[in-house]
Chains A and B, each alone.
Chain A
Amino acid sequence: MAAPLGPNIGRPGAAPLLEEETDTRLDLPWQVIVHNDPINLMSYVTLVLQKLFGYPRHQAEMLMMEVHTKGRSIVWTGGREQAELYVQQLHAHQLLARMERVAT
């Protein structure tokens, strides 16, 4: 059910949404974070994490419980372009998701 991609989002070889020319932290990976919300069903969050990231059930449930009990969970870490794509897909599934660069 992933949304069609935007012009610069997540296509192989496409440039990231915004270019950062002089940032010395460019090599640092990005984290995709899912935030808790009171409405989404726990089972639904588990399903989305399994479908999008291919996690086995127990891992998806563990991440879902972390979202539920701690308010957020880092569900994926890696390159910026892929992180953008995951955030877009999580939004398409109506999960509250953001991305941020791994802290130095």
Chain B
Amino acid sequence: MNIPRLRLVVTERGHFAFEGISVLFVLMLQEVPAILEDRHSPAPRERLFPAPTESDADWNESWQHLVTPELEALFHSAGETMARDMAAMSPQDKEATSYRVEISPAHVNAWISALNQARLILGARFNLTEEDLNDDTRVNLRDRRRVAAMKIRFLGIFLELLVQAQLDDL
């Protein structure tokens, strides 16, 4: 059995494409829109829309009215863009052991935003620490915190590939 090797390539027309996406990774990516729906729960909301100052209550409140709605729209739009691109994901072989999805340069920032939002939402939802994320011991699938940490790491693999491509471009 061939184990697909995930990679980010640049296509002839200058788009990015994730290739060699295993079925497990496809399932992880497909879960992102559902994770993003949790954006407005208290803990994820506090993380995604932080206050601009430590203790200036008036300023922080003004920020909530003036800036937060803009960020909400931006984050929502990024998730929608990623979901639309995901809908065009296709198998790379007859057995459908690996998949491919293409991302136009104009959508790269949306993918980075959506993947990062999903990771932050999971982290906030389960109050995960750096120690949780570095815990390499076997994951008990009944332990929702450990499963969330695993998802954060998996989504981080896609994010890291996109970030490295962006860093190489600077």
Cα of A96 to Cα of B132 in the assembled complex, Å: 20
Cα of A41 to Cα of B67 in the assembled complex, Å: 25
Q: Say which size band chain A's interface belongs to.
A: 20 to 34
In the complex, the answer to whether A94 meets B67 with C-beta atoms within 8 Å is: no
Q: Please report which residues of chain B, range 28-86, place their CB below 8 angstroms from some CB of chain A when the two chains form the complex.
A: 47-54, 56, 58-59, 62-63, 66-67, 70-71, 73-74
B66 / chain A contacts, CB cutoff of 8 Å: 6-9, 17
> Does any Cβ of A come within 8 Å of B113's Cβ?
yes
In the complex, the answer to whether A41 meets B156 with C-beta atoms within 8 Å is: yes
Q: Please report which residues of chain A, range 8-33, place their CB below 8 angstroms from some CB of chain B when the two chains form the complex.
A: 8-9, 17-18
Say whether, besides A1-B113, A38-B128, A99 and B52 are in contact (CB < 8 Å): yes
B123 touches which of A38, A87, A97 (Cβ 8 Å)? A38
A6 touches which of B47, B58, B67, B130 (Cβ 8 Å)? B67
> Does any Cβ of A come within 8 Å of B120's Cβ?
yes
Q: Say which size band chain B's interface belongs to.
A: 35 or more
> Does any Cβ of B come within 8 Å of A102's Cβ?
no
B156 / chain A contacts, CB cutoff of 8 Å: 41
A-contact bits for B147-170, CB 8 A (1 contact / 0 none):
000001000100110011011001
Q: Separation in Å of the A94 CB from the closest CB of chain B?
A: 5
> Does any Cβ of A come within 8 Å of B97's Cβ?
no
B-contact bits for A63-104, CB 8 A (1 contact / 0 none):
000000000000000000000100110011110111110000
CB-based nearest B residue for A50: B170
In the complex, the answer to whether B128 meets A41 with C-beta atoms within 8 Å is: no
In the complex, the answer to whether B170 meets A94 with C-beta atoms within 8 Å is: no
B130 / chain A contacts, CB cutoff of 8 Å: 38
